[in-house]
Structure 1
């Protein structure tokens, strides 16, 4: 009986730990995410270009360059292409080119 209770307590502890990591991880990772937004005029609409830089600890994606097309009713993503690494974003931030960092 004691062995079964220990196994149940161990399983519950592992599940609680996993749930805590899932809930806390986005907040911890967001400290290193940087966003750079530029604006140019395109015909009658405004065209926004945003580069989102993730920490290098994300193995599959180092960064995304997103081209956004905006009109008065909605913000719509036109394309997503691979971008540069986080180190470049930090260099740009030092030079004043990164406008916001989450």
Structure 2
């Protein structure tokens, strides 16, 4: 599965209601971090724990670099959005599914 196919799979799962928006956002961000820059930490997300850690760090990074409104929109966090806080969003990421998808994508790239 190449990167484009992995993105398409995430889009399908979101449209079918099989994953939360948090899983979709984290998965897309991880795939984007892996290509073309080959972010070493993103490349090493081979377990659910690594995906969770990366997802939290990614959200905190964006929180520091976006204004509050843009951050809330990007991650659906805050009053009137899907998630109340970063930790709630991170807890809704299907980290096992993403780890499996990322491992499939990494194997196909080798």
TM-score by length of 1: 0.24
Larger radius of gyration: 1
More strand per residue: 1 or 2? 1
Q: Which has the higher contact order (CA 8 A, sep 6+)?
A: 2
TM-score by length of 2: 0.23
